[in-house]
Amino acid sequence: MKDETYAFISDVKDKKVTARSARHMRTHCGKGGRVRLPSDNLSKKELMKMSGECKSYRLNEPMTWKEFMSMPDDIKITYIKLLRNKFGCPDSKIGEMMGANKDKVSRQFIKLGLDKGKTKKKEKWDKEGFWAWANGVDKLPTPVLEEPVEEPVQEEPEVFVEDDLPFDVVPVEEPDPIPDDLNLEIKFLKAQVDELRKVNEALMANHENDCQVIEKLRLMCSEYEENARILEAQMDVVRMIFGGK
């Protein structure tokens, strides 16, 4: 055996012995190997006191200057950028919506590190949409002007006089009246059809009654067969007790 092979086998053997002996070692992790912390002994009320206050900010709604100043600086910047990107409104109009004057708004925006908004009067911004959003009113749709539709001129129908028709009028011949003998035969056939229909209805009713009687007989036969099986089973029990055939 080479030295390298012997060294490898010895190392593996030592690691096996160490791994097997680890399960019998006693740990200092507490009962059942569980680590306990001081927070495990706190009540639910004490744990709630340790948790910080949860705040939520609605950046898709208008707010007052007091509400705006109560937010963190990063959320203030996000709110202003959202208004600028959506409506393109100048800073003075944002302050007017919040109920603050222009100087106070400018100082606060400079403190936050925001650049100046729109200053040129020629640049257009969504004035109607901004104030509709600030007042909580949906923006009215732009009215569509419908083009006047010309009513079609109704032409008066041409009236032809019999003498002015471009073709000759062919008189329509009336059909010949049906003879009395044929009418009598038709009535006789109708009477026969009615009688056959009545006979058919009577046969159908008898057939339904026969089907009901057959169903009752079948149920009775089934009951008799079931009773015969029960009696046969009882006779088998009697034969097993008392013997005999």
Whether residue 144 has pLDDT greater than 50: no
Task: With beta carbons less than 8 A apart as the criterion, state whether 21 and 40 touch.
Answer: no
Pairwise CA distance, residues 129 & 6, whole Å: 85
Token couple for 100: 């603050």
Whether residue 21 has pLDDT greater than 60: yes
Q: Classify residue 71 as exposed, middle or buried by CB count within 10 Å of its CB (0-12, 13-18, 19+).
A: middle
Task: With beta carbons less than 8 A apart as the criterion, state whether 135 and 124 touch.
Answer: no
Say what the pLDDT of residue 168 is: 52
Task: With beta carbons less than 8 A apart as the criterion, state whether 99 and 110 touch.
Answer: no
146 — pLDDT class (breaks 50, 70, 90): very low
Mean pLDDT across 195-223:
87
Mean pLDDT across 138-145:
45
Whether residue 167 has pLDDT greater than 50: no
Residue located via tokens 């705040």: 55
CA torsion angle 77 82 88 92 (round to 10):
-40
13 — pLDDT class (breaks 50, 70, 90): very high
Mean pLDDT across 90-111:
88
Which of the two residues, 183 and 231, has the higher pLDDT score? Answer: 231
145 — pLDDT class (breaks 50, 70, 90): very low
Averaged pLDDT score across all residues of the chain: 78
Tell which phi-psi region holds residue 88, choosing left (phi > 0), alpha (psi between -120 and 50) or beta: left
Say what the pLDDT of residue 59 is: 87
- Among 179-183, 187-191, 192-196, whose mean pLDDT is lowest? 179-183
Mean pLDDT across 130-151:
61
Say what the pLDDT of residue 157 is: 57
Pairwise CA distance, residues 125 & 89, whole Å: 6
Token couple for 3: 């030295």
| pLDDT per residue as tens digits for the range 43-86 | 888 888 877 777 888 888 898 999 999 989 999 999 999 998 88
Say what the pLDDT of residue 39 is: 80
Range 177-207 burial, b when 16+ CB lie within 10 A, else e: eeeeeeeeeeeeeeeeeeeeeeeeeeeeeee
Mean pLDDT across 96-118:
85
- Among 17-21, 42-46, 55-59, 138-142, whose mean pLDDT is lowest? 138-142
Say what the pLDDT of residue 26 is: 63
Task: With beta carbons less than 8 A apart as the criterion, state whether 130 and 89 touch.
Answer: yes
Instruction: Compute the half-sphere exposure of residue 177: CA atoms within 13 Å on the CB side of its CA.
Output: 3
The percent of the chain in helix, strand and coil, each rounded to the nearest 5, is: 60, 0, 40
Say what the pLDDT of residue 138 is: 55
Instruction: Say how many Å lie between the first and final Cα of the chain, rounded.
Output: 88
